[in-house]
């Protein structure tokens, strides 16, 4: 697969990609970016989570003329939440180009949006209703728009926005370039594309197909994004992996998570594409020798990794396509050993989980995270086992004269407890993890094959423990 360097991008955009920590383009980016840079209209069947925003955002950042303070790219979005998320992603992508991006959505006063428009923005990400209001008030015009993106078109259809979308499209120049993204392709979306796109090229991402799933014990946990590190720590404590390989989406994330785990007292190391070959080798050597318990890696860095001791694979970020899921979980249970694959699923990643399940044909069991008490209990049990082992080996022989002296002044239990607190510290601080309620998870969305309402219900479990 080509890397970002082979996509013919400018240094300023490559710098932003580097700053965002993306290591290599996702499949939708590999397919869409060259076509969009070549000026083609494109219809992409892909879901949120596949990297579609950067797939259209990168070409926009390449084409916007920042010397001209006019709206040159317009992204239509079904919801305020998506508009905000897309606008923030586009701002990051265009940060070194000087590209300004404004989200426009209903439910907020007009003044701020109008003031920002007056100052001149290059890209607008808007929900259709509010944009039409502003067009009617003549707060902006779309005369200079050369890139139009219809994002999550099937959602806009479901929400009854298509007439508004058509009205907006008619106010943009005919010679614009248009991209349409949709998870499914109902007739109305086909017709919309036929009316407004010029000989569009069609990109369809990984249709469900037969895949061999390695025989690994799989499970997943629904966790709010900001509590994933806490969830990981609880799982590490209760499962005591020999070596856990934890996957993150970006190298920035991998490096940050490794540091956070080290801070919490785990022997963790990061493995990412920015490391030199000798740094990599030294981390791998430590892992093989059992000096590392958690290896935090990106997909790229883990490629070619040959460590048979991996007892647990953890998808800290859910992989963006079923193939990488299969690759990742295949890193454990090697050389006849048993292995476990754990996926942490944030509310916004729920639809990707379904895509993986639909493609592999395997349902990944949802599990409840260990409670704080269980994690503490497991941590203590591990400590007790370790201590017993040391006693059996008479590991503290040289300290015995000191202990005998101290035992004349102190109770032996107090002594041993104080000695433990010296080496272990006060114990790990643990946070409560709020449960992801069913309303917070993404609504059931179909797989790439468009199996809307396939009847399988994989919703999160109600009730239960933390
Ligand atoms: P999207 O499908 O656009 O909502 O993107 C889903 C997530 O993937 C976002 O958090 C993006 O920042 C992230 N992302 C997009 N492209 C890449 C990439 N090439 N490598 C790593 N993460 C990416």
Query: Using a 6 Å cutoff on CB, does residue 250 contact ligand 1?
Result: yes
**Protein residue closest via CA to atom 13 of ligand 1:** 51
Lookup: tokens for 403: 């202990």
pLDDT of residue 428: 64
Note whether 2-204 and 208-466 share their fold.
yes
User: Does domain 208-466 correspond to CATH entry 3.90.105.20?
Assistant: no
Distance between Cα 456 and ligand 1 center (Å): 27
pLDDT at 459: 29
- Does the CB atom of residue 51 touch ligand 1 within 6 A? yes
Nearest atom in ligand 1 to 250's CA: 21
> What is the dotted CATH code of the domain comprising 2-204?
3.40.50.300
Cα(54) to centroid of ligand 1, in Å? 7
**Best probe residue, ligand 1, of 16, 24, 47, 53 (max atoms within 8 Å of C-beta):** 53
| CA of 33 relative to ligand 1 center, distance in Å | 14
Ligand 1 atom with the shortest distance to the CA of 22: 20
Nearest CA to ligand 1 atom 16: 51
Ligand 1 in reach of 54 Cβ (< 6 A): yes
pLDDT value, residue 290: 87
Position 213 scores a pLDDT of 62
Q: Is the CB of 25 inside a 6 Å radius of any atom of ligand 1?
A: yes
Give the pLDDT confidence score for residue 1 in this predicted structure.
Answer: 67
Q: Closest Cα to atom 5, ligand 1: which residue?
A: 51
Per-residue model confidence (pLDDT) at position 461: 26
Domain range annotation of the chain? 2-204, 208-466
Among the atoms of ligand 1, which is closest to the Cα of residue 26?
19
> Which ranges of the chain have pLDDT less than 50?
207-211, 438-466
In the prediction, which pLDDT does 457 show? 29
**Ligand 1 within 6 A of CB of 232:** no
Rounded distance from Cα 233 to ligand 1 centre (Å): 25
**Is the minimum distance from the CB of 249 to ligand 1 under 6 angstroms?**
yes
For ligand 1, whether the C-beta of 50 sits within 6 Å is yes
CA 79 from centre of chain? 20
């Amino acid at each position: 697969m080509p890397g970002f360097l082979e996509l013919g991008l400018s240094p300023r955009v490559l710098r932003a990609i580097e700053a965002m920590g993306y290591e290599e383009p996702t499949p939708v980016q590999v397919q869409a970016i060259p076509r969009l840079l070549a000026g083609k209209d494109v219809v992409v069947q892909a879901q949120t989570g596949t990297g579609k925003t950067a797939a259209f955002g990168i070409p926009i950042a390449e084409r916007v003329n920042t010397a001209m303070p006019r709206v040159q790219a317009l992204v239509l979005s079904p919801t305020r939440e998506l508009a905000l998320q897309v606008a923030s992603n586009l701002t990051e992508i265009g940060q070194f180009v000087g590209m300004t991006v404004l989200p426009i959505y209903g439910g907020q006063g007009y003044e701020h949006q109008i003031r920002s428009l007056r100052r001149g923005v290059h890209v607008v990400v808007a929900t259709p209703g509010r944009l039409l209001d502003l067009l009617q008030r003549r707060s902006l015009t779309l005369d200079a728009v050369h890139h139009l993106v219809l994002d999550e078109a099937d959602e806009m259809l479901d929400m009854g926005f298509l007439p508004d979308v058509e009205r907006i499209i008619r106010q943009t120049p005919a010679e614009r370039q248009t991209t349409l993204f949709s998870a499914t392709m109902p007739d109305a979306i086909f017709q919309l594309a036929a009316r407004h796109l010029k000989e569009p090229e069609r990109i369809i991402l990984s249709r469900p197909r037969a895949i061999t799933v390695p025989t690994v014990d799989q499970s997943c946990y629904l966790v709010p994004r900001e509590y994933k590190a806490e969830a990981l720590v609880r799982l590490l404590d209760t499962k005591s992996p020999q070596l856990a390989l934890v996957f993150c989406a970006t190298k920035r994330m991998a490096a940050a998570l490794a540091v956070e785990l080290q801070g919490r007292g785990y022997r963790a190391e990061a493995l990412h594409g920015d490391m030199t070959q000798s740094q990599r080798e030294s981390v791998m050597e430590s892992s093989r020798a059992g000096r590392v318990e958690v290896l935090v890696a990106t997909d790229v860095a883990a490629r070619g990794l040959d460590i048979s001791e991996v007892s647990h694979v953890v998808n800290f970020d859910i992989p963006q396509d079923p193939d990488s899921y299969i690759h990742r979980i295949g890193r454990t249970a090697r050389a006849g050993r048993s292995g476990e694959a754990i996926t942490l699923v944030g509310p916004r990643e729920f639809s990707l989980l379904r895509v993986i399940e639909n493609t592999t044909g395997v349902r990944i069991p949802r599990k409840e995270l260990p409670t704080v008490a269980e994690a503490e209990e497991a941590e203590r049990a591990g400590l007790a086992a370790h201590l017993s082992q040391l006693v059996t080996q008479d590991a503290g022989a040289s300290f015995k004269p000191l202990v005998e002296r101290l035992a004349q002044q102190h109770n032996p239990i107090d002594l041993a407890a104080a000695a433990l607190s010296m080496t272990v510290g006060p114990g790990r601080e643990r946070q409560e993890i709020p449960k992801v309620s069913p309303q917070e998870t993404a609504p059931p969305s179909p797989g790439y094959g468009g199996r809307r309402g396939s009847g399988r219900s994989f919703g999160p479990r109600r009730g239960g423990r933390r």
